[in-house]
Amino acid sequence: MIASAATPAAPYQALILGGGDAGDPLAVSHGVAVKGLVPVAGQPMALHVLRAVRASGRVGRVAYIGPTTPQMDALIDLPLPDRGSLLDNLTAGLEALGDQPGRALVLTADIPMLTAGQLNDVLDQVAAQPGAGLLYPVVSREACEATFPGVKRTFVRVRDGTFTGGNLFVFAPALVGQFLPRLRAVLDARKAPLKLAALIGPGVLVRLLTGRLTVRGLEEAVSSLLGVEARAIITPHAAVGTDVDKPADLALAEAYLSQVS
């Protein structure tokens, strides 16, 4: 039986973003409405994400934005209509979740290689930082290339290493009204490192360009920008930061899931 709210045993609510990409070339090429419905290993890629979230045992309520299938519906507590863009869907989803106890977990529907165990590893790291209002996993280039040789990602070089961002984050719902307008601007720039650094400030931009920025320095800058304590979580799980955007990504996911299934 699916729980309807966060509990001590399942302390998270989850919001899965599966809409906002009507006309996506990958979706169009497979004859489906949105990318989350593109089949991977015989199942919609979003279904893989839903199953990982449910199997984690950490989530009491799951909200999903975007078109679904009957198999997906069985795993969703709160279906929500697609608002047409990532940021509008995020805003609507967070409002729908409301100010419930515990933290909220937000994921995109296009990370089908994510497993429950990997998600729980990330959430274990989240639990170790109870004071942070926003936590965002990052994956090193070495971890990505070791798991998925030849994978194409957007990487950022800092003094501590070279990283790509994850496709999930965790936040405290009570802080949504405080930082959501600023968060919208940051998320809009999430795949443009220089734009993101410019939002944070010219000093950060210079340190980024010269490779002198540290992960801790970036955390401090983001915290200042959002008005809430933000922390990066370095995870070795490449699936957290490997979404399926292009035919090459889909082929990689198909090959990987066929090996581990």
Write out pLDDT tens, residues 155-208: 888 889 999 999 999 988 777 777 777 767 766 676 666 676 667 676 766 676
pLDDT, average across residues 85-106:
82
Structure confidence at residue 213 as a pLDDT band (50, 70, 90): confident
Distance (Å, rounded) from C-alpha 86 to C-alpha 18? 9
Can you give the pLDDT at residue 219? Answer: 86
User: What is the mean pLDDT of the segment spanning 226-255?
Assistant: 92
44: CB partners within 8 A, 6+ apart:
32, 36, 37, 38, 69, 71, 72
The values of phi and psi at residue 142, to 5°, are -60, -45
Whether residue 168 contacts residue 111, with contact meaning beta carbons closer than 8 Å, is answered with yes
Q: What pLDDT, on the 0 to 100 scale, is given for residue 172?
A: 81
pLDDT at 102 exceeding the cut of 90: no
pLDDT in tens, 131-157: 898 899 999 999 999 999 888 888 888
Q: Which helix (H) or strand (E) holds 170?
A: strand 168-171
Question: 175-190 burial, b for 16+ CB within 10 Å, e for fewer?
Answer: bbeebbeebeebbebe
pLDDT at position 1 is 34
Higher pLDDT, 171 or 239: 239
Tell me how far CA of residue 93 lies from CA of 21, 47, 220, in angstroms.
16, 18, 27
In the block, tokens 């209002």 appear at 133
Q: What is the pLDDT of residue 196?
A: 66
**pLDDT for 3:** 43
Per-residue pLDDT, 66: 95
pLDDT of 123: 96
| Per-residue confidence (pLDDT) for residue 187, from 0 to 100 | 66
- Nearest Cα neighbor of 104 from 169, 49, 165 is 169
What CA–CA distance (Å, rounded) separates 36 from 39?
A: 8
Percent of the chain with pLDDT over 70: 84
Domains (ranges, CATH) in the chain? Answer: 12-260 (3.90.550.10)
Name the token pair of 201: 């400030």
What is the pLDDT, as a whole number, of residue 96? Answer: 86
Contact (CB, 8 A) for 59 and 77: no
For every residue of 107-147, DSSP letters joined together read EES--TT--HHHHHHHHHHHHT-TT-SEEEEEEEHHHHHHH
The answer, yes or no, to whether residue 2 has pLDDT greater than 50, is no
Q: Taking phi first (over 0 means left), then psi (-120 to 50 degrees means alpha), and beta for anything else, what does residue 6 get? A: beta
How far apart are the C-alpha atoms of 54 and 129, rounded to whole Å?
23
- Per-residue pLDDT, 197: 65
Instruction: Supply the pTM of this predicted model.
Output: 0.88
